[in-house]
Amino acid sequence: MNFFFCAVLFSFSSPVGHPVPQDVPVVEAPRVAVTPLARDYSQAYLDRMGQAAFEAVRSVEPTKLKSLRFKFVERSEMQKVLYEELRPQMDCQFEDAEMAEANAQTMATTLAGAVLAKFATGSGDVLVVHDNIFDIAELLHMPDLASTEVLSAVLCHEAAHAVDHHRHPLPGLFGRVTDTDHLQAINAVIEGHAQHVARKACKKIDNMVGFDLFTASIDHLPEADDAHQAYLSRIVVAQFSFAYKDGERFIDAMALEGGASAIEKVFQTPPTESILITEPSWYLKPKSRPKVPYDLEQALQRYEASLHKEDPDHWMMTKVELLAPQISAAFSLLPKDRYEQSVKDILECRVLVAQNLDGEGSMISAGLFALSTVPQAKQFLELENDLIAIKPEKLKENITITIDKTEKLTKKDSTQFEGIWIEQTIIYGATPIKNHSLLAHRGQIVAELNFSNVGITKKEAIKSAETLLQAPTKTPEEKASSEKATK
């Protein structure tokens, strides 16, 4: 996991049509039989395509919405609409108003050139930037994206958003959001249901070719000369995969459980945690969710308070919960059979990212992962260590990572945990970055601390880990060991 929190931090979720990472060459997809979209396709043509898509959606998803307008807009107008919808979402993710504003502006600018279409909650229209479909097809080396079949599938997806918005206003859903993880869950519900409906609509009009191409492009993995950039891109793309693909699987599980009434319940009382999207049975039957013997959120709050106490006004704090596809992407430098089960064994994960506000470029990330058992926690810790060890070789073309020191930590070093202390030098560009990491486990809990350009000693890092891993009660393993010792 080491060094990828910053990439995760600035990716985001919102129902913005079809966002695609920019400026990254991608593996060429296999060609299929499609009808090329004319470069000069007109508003009249878009009207016909849009109305056909809307009628297809209405035929599989009953609605009182009578009509829907599809219109071309300039990128500047798309950017303005995106900003208006993104700004409130950024406020719930960033404590600092200036940071929220800057991220909303940056994301709106980037996505204005990357969405194929977008349902705008303000006007109630589906907006299309005329040239984006051609530009993205070229960018991704997927010429079949610029086809009538894909445009039809995308318009079905956006029409599904319009139908959902008519029944459950989307700003109201986002208005309930309390943090980034909650936002991830809401977004997965929204995008997942739009995919669920669009799939049925496309099947009805015999356009699964367009739907499958559109869906495949969402997490189309890059093939880049820069291995480090490709690695980070996989992690960012994984977030879109979660919203669309994991979200659709979640909605499918609801439909299987109770049909339309179960889906209606999801919109009335949506999940507040992203882990519930990955594990829909926990949403359906909360008592089936395994108990985590430790309050990860409380632990991060305790650590956040300690950072503020040491240096008030120095850090900007952001909390996230990593998504299963992101964790898998982070481990993707290792063989898949090494990490696949470990990712499934995670019951909960929380991350606090502290960034320096004074422009020094320093950053601290503190991650906590709850695993199902103590042996699984130990295995997860070994995976993290193996990932660190393999990165210098796997990413050597464009980044130099030197492991200056690795030291095993035992209970002699700490009363709270066992772990590993790692000192590294990273050169990506002209400026070397000093990074210190501490990986630790206590019972079923794994902690990962990274200090980038932060002057810190091993002793100070151990104290930080102890702050994170404090627990009012003993773990089952420690309790059994203590009882055995007293007999």
pLDDT at residue number 141: 87
pLDDT at residue number 325: 87
Which SS3 state, helix, strand or coil, does residue 479 take?
helix
Go through the domains of the chain in sequence order and give each one's CATH number: 8-284 (no CATH), 296-486 (3.40.1000)
Write down the residue that tokens 């499934």 correspond to: 344
pLDDT at residue number 477: 55
Separation between Cα atoms, residue 131 and residue 386, nearest integer Å:
45
Taking the alpha carbons of 216, 218, 219, 224 in that order, is the dihedral positive or negative?
Answer: positive
Separation between Cα atoms, residue 59 and residue 282, nearest integer Å:
32
Give helix then strand counts, H and E, for the chain: 19, 10
What is the helix, strand, coil percentage profile of the chain, to 5? Answer: 55, 15, 30
DSSP state at residue 41: -
pLDDT in tens, the chain (487 residues): 332 233 333 332 223 333 333 333 334 444 568 999 999 999 999 999 999 999 999 999 999 999 999 999 999 999 999 999 999 888 887 777 887 898 899 989 989 998 999 999 999 999 999 999 999 999 888 999 999 999 999 999 999 999 999 999 999 998 888 888 899 999 999 999 999 999 999 999 999 999 999 999 887 765 666 677 777 777 777 778 899 999 999 999 999 999 999 999 999 999 999 999 999 999 999 999 998 888 999 999 999 998 888 776 678 888 888 888 889 989 999 999 999 999 999 999 999 998 886 666 789 999 999 999 999 999 999 999 999 999 999 888 778 889 999 999 987 888 788 899 999 998 877 778 899 999 999 999 999 999 998 989 999 999 999 999 985 444 555 455 545 544 4
pLDDT at residue number 357: 66
pLDDT at residue number 24: 35
Q: Check if the beta carbon of residue 445 is closer than 8 Å to that of residue 454.
A: no
The reported pTM is 0.82
Can you spell out the DSSP letters for 403-452?
A: EEEEEEE-TTT-SS-EEEEEEEEEESSSSEEEEEEEEEEETTEEEEEEEE
Cα–Cα distance list, 11 to 19, 106, 241, 481 (Å): 11, 11, 12, 43
